[in-house]
Amino acid sequence: MLKNKKLTFLLIVIISSFLFMTACGRDGGQDIPSAEDNSFIMNTLVQMRAYGENSEIAVEESMERIREIEYLMSRTLEDSEINQINMNPKEFIELSQESKKVLEEALYFAELSSGDYDPTIGPIVDLWGIGTDQARIPSEEEIAKALEFVDYNYLEIEGNRARVTKEGVKIDLGGIAKGYAADEVKEIVKKHDVPSAFINIGGNVLVVGNNVDDSKWRIGIQDPRHGRGNVMAIIESEDQTIVTSGNYERYFEEDGEIYHHIFDPENGHPARTGLLSATIITETSLDADALSTIAFIKGLEDGMKFVEDIEDVEVMFITEELDVYISSGLNDGFEITGPDFNLIEGGNIAD
């Protein structure tokens, strides 16, 4: 669980999937054994590269571990534990330790955020269909009906079992499971004594150690107005995770309006808080996954106030005006490279 501390807070950013390559070609690392893989798992592109002895087995084992987590926690795989809970309301389903942990963390963050993060958001996700060929704008009546089934209090965990207590409630761990998977990869890399590695699970970036040449990793933050490969900032990082929630990741446009996939559980609509993205930098990817969603939904001011007491967490917001608000701990190792962005230190927002 998270601990408290005073911290000037929150930001939103996006990670360029391929920037882990930027520091890999420097002198000194060319003779080090390495391995990499790029696969489509958990409904997203997963990229990994590792350096050092045992790097090949670490990458292979990591990819298999991510697949195992998908089999347990996917909403769409018929035999997954999460789907079994959704399809058998009021009936307790036996859980693996992995699913139990993630469900417990989901409830923790739901309570911590007063419901801004809600693992029972599934009915709203299904209604809008964003990211599928069924994407549409539902009526207010449809949204109101779906919201009757969105409340994390309908999720119960008892020992190694869990259930939803109301028919129609659907758990969706899309805002937290990728973070858990990244943390599991970190444990595998360390188990095999691999000193340097990078994993990107659909924008959930985690680095182990330093880069191959012993410099810090340089992680590119995506310009939210453009596609991947367009970078507006760089964060230097070691043994950290960087996770972004943004309105440009999955969306559709109708009549000039963008409808994105980050839903406000209170009103059932895509969250509109004047932000383009929110990025969390910390040590645990599961935490960062949930916190980036919470920060985006709360918006700049409330997000700052929410995160300022969380220990060892840094954040960056990008507003629709292209103002970039960063927490005080990001002053070192953070560089804006996009000429259109205005850097503002965010400490006074929470005062």
> Which residue has 């209170």 as its token pair?
266
Structural Rg of the chain based on CA atoms: 20
Give the pLDDT score at 5: 33
Binding residues for Mg(2+): 175, 289, 293
What are the residue ranges in the chain where pLDDT is below 70? 1-30, 228, 346-351
Cβ 308 vs Cβ 8: under 8 Å: yes
Going by C-alpha positions, the residue among 319, 314, 132 that lies closest to residue 225 is 319
Binding positions: 175, 289, 293
Given a contact cutoff of 8 angstroms between Cβ atoms, the answer to whether 238 and 209 are in contact is yes
Burial grade of 282 (CB within 10 A; 0-12, 13-18, 19 or more)? buried
Amino acid, single-letter form, for residue 169: V
Angle, to 10 degrees, between the axis of helix 285-298 and the axis of helix 97-112?
30
Domain boundaries, the chain: 19-68+176-350, 76-164
The pTM of the whole model exceeds 0.85: yes
For 19-68+176-350, the fitting CATH number among 1.10.1060.10, 3.10.110.10, 3.10.520.10, 3.40.50.300 is 3.10.520.10
Beta 323-326 vs 342-345: how paired, if at all?
parallel
* Separation in Å, CA 39 to CA 47, 59, 67, 327, 334: 7, 11, 10, 34, 30
What pLDDT shows up at residue 30? 60
At residue 54, the pLDDT reads 96
CATH superfamily for 76-164 is ApbE-like superfamily (1.10.3980.10)
**What pLDDT is attached to residue 13?**
30
Identity at 6, one-letter amino acid code: K
Tokens of 12: 């939103």
Task: Report yes or no: 281 and 315 within 8 Å, Cβ to Cβ.
Answer: yes
